[in-house]
Structure 1
Amino acid sequence: MNRTHTRITLLAAPLALLLAGCAIIPTPATPAAETAADPQAAFMARLNVLCGKSFAGRIVGSAPAGADDDMAGQPMVMHVRSCTGTRVEIPFHVGTDHSRTWIITRTATGLRLKHDHRHQDGSSDAVTLYGGDTATPGSPTRQAFPVDAESISSFRANGLDRSVTNVWAVEVSAPTDPNPRFVYELSRPAGPNARLFRVEFDLSREVATPPTPWGW
């Protein structure tokens, strides 16, 4: 082997090691990339964008006929009152009724939706903190919450057997959506207890902050 060839070989060896080392070092994921890979994190992030804001809503789906007549025509406002990366509290005001707060939390296995329901004096309703946990990752725009065992037990104890197949869903548009909406939905499968309640809030226009929900 001549000296020129030896010199080239000696220079090439460190370069090959350097390139090999670079090949096995993964590119660090950016926070945006991590959120995109986790639809539930993206969903919570979208809710946090709305923190402190209030929006007017209207019923866009109701079945059976007459099931929501007590709400029809009343002003509806949601207020994203408190937010962290793992918990968002959203009071839902219907007219002068300030009894309802939706609570969405991040758990070790997914997302959980609970309904905090109180009386005007601040005491808890007999049926409160009912809801469910996600069974699938969902998407950044929609998460579904089938009823959990604790809620089923509470419903049956309070004569609400029709509610033991409840599935709730929450939808939230991306901030860049030209027609941004927040949607709350309650549904039950077809049958004698079939149910649909769907209320939609316009995120393009803020409204005045409603009163503090009862008991908070």
Structure 2
Amino acid sequence: MKGFNILAAMVIAISSTAAHAVTAEQNAFFDNLAAHCGQAFAGEITAGGSADSTFSGKRLVMHVRECSDDVIKVPFHVGDDHSRTWVISKTSYGLHLAHDHRHKDGSEDKITMYGGMTATMGSATQQSFPVDARSINNFRANDLDVSVTNVWHLYVEENSATYRLTRDERDFRVDFDLTKPVALPPVPWGHQ
């Protein structure tokens, strides 16, 4: 009986640790982003623009659209392209960032839900997400080997937010002005 009690106590301890694996810094970051829920903000490319013709010359808008206790969805609109949504989730291992890519008809792109898990506690204003194994497999299956070293970074400061992608020979960054909310963009493809 004593062995059973020890085992039960260990299971409870492990369970409660897993449920609270998001650090105080990660919770503060999540809350800082969620504070902007329901608002949209214009952005501009501040690094890597010449290599990213997909984004150049287009209106860039992030919309902190859906917020729950564990998930924040932020559509990233590029001109008339409403295919991208960043999904930030609290998990038992930390924060996870996924890129939900959809076609105009709402169907999933073959390269979707890629991203990564925080590897460090980060801070209340910055979190980094190194590419995860699932994403590496997806990239390789779709001839995107250049993406297997991706690290995504999200920053939420008092007056600005930033989405950044780094890897060997690439640094792409979009900064958003949090002091000037803009009109809400259309519903992102595949969402209601």
TM-score by length of 2: 0.86
Match of 1:15 in 2: none
AA partner of residue 56 (structure 1): A
1:26 aligned partner: none
Q: Does 1:139 align with 2:123?
A: yes
CA–CA distance in structure 2, aligned partners of residues 102 and 70 of structure 1: 17
Structure 1 match to 2:166: 187
- Distance in 1, matches of 2:183 and 2:107, equals 26
Q: How many residue pairs get matched?
A: 169
Q: Does 1:200 align with 2:150?
A: no
After TM superposition, the runs of 4+ consecutive aligned structure 1 residues lying more than 4 A away are: none
- Paired with 1:146 and 1:132, the residues of 2 have a C-alpha distance of 5
> What is the distance in 2 between the residues matched to 1:184 and 1:137?
18
**Distance across 1 between alignment mates of 2:51 and 2:34:** 32
The share of aligned pairs that are identical, in percent, is 54
User: Which position in structure 2 is the counterpart of 1:7?
Assistant: none
How do 1:108-119 residues align onto structure 2 when only pairs under 5 Å count?
108-119=92-103
TM superposition shift of 1:70: 2.7
**Alignment of 1:44 onto 2:19:** no
The one-letter amino acid of 1:210's match is P
Check conservation: 1:76, 1:93, Cα contact below 8 A: yes
Q: Does 1:123 align with 2:104?
A: no
* Structure 2: gaps of 5 or more residues: 1-22
TM-score (norm 1): 0.76
Q: What's the Cα RMSD here?
A: 1.1
Post-superposition offset of 1:72 = 1.1
Say which structure is richer in strand.
2
Shift in Å at residue 170 of structure 1? Answer: 0.3
Counterparts of 1:140 and 1:46, CA distance in 2: 7
**Structure 2 SS opposite 1:46:** helix
Higher-Rg structure is: 1
**Aligned equivalents of 2:151 and 2:26: distance in 1?**
17
CA offsets 1:139-181 (integer angstroms, 9 cap, x no match): 00000000000000000000000000000000001xxx3xx10
- The CA distance in 2 between the partners of 1:126 and 1:196, in whole Å, is 24
Give CA-to-partner distance per residue, 1:74-104, whole Å, 9 cap, x none.
Answer: 1010100001221100000010000000000
Give the corresponding residue for 1:31: none
Mapped to 2, the partners of 1:202 and 1:136 lie a distance apart of 26
Q: Does 1:161 align with 2:145?
A: yes
